Amino acid sequence: MTEILRQSQVSCMQSFVDKLVQQSTEAGMIVNGRKTKEMLIGTVARDRPPSVTLSGAPVDRVTSFKLLFAAGQT
């Protein structure tokens, strides 16, 4: 998920994550919190919004990540 925040704007990411978990549960899927990461980009990284939680556990905030995709897919 992505969210663009203007200066002094409040993040809605927690409500987005809560909705994702709810929809996943209804579909019989489980979101793996240990593999879920949050990365802040740009000026928002200086004025950090509150940490996001997934099913009550804090989501790790990282400064870099690897984006993997299947071979043959673009």
Kindly write down the DSSP assignment for every residue of 6-51, as one continuous string.
Answer: -TTPPP-HHHHHHHHHHHHHHTT----GGG-EEE--GGGGTSPPPP
**Model pLDDT, residue 47:** 72
| pTM over 0.85, yes/no | no
The pLDDT value recorded for residue 18 is 94
Mean pLDDT in order along the chain per 10 residues (74 residues): 84 93 95 88 76 89 85 66
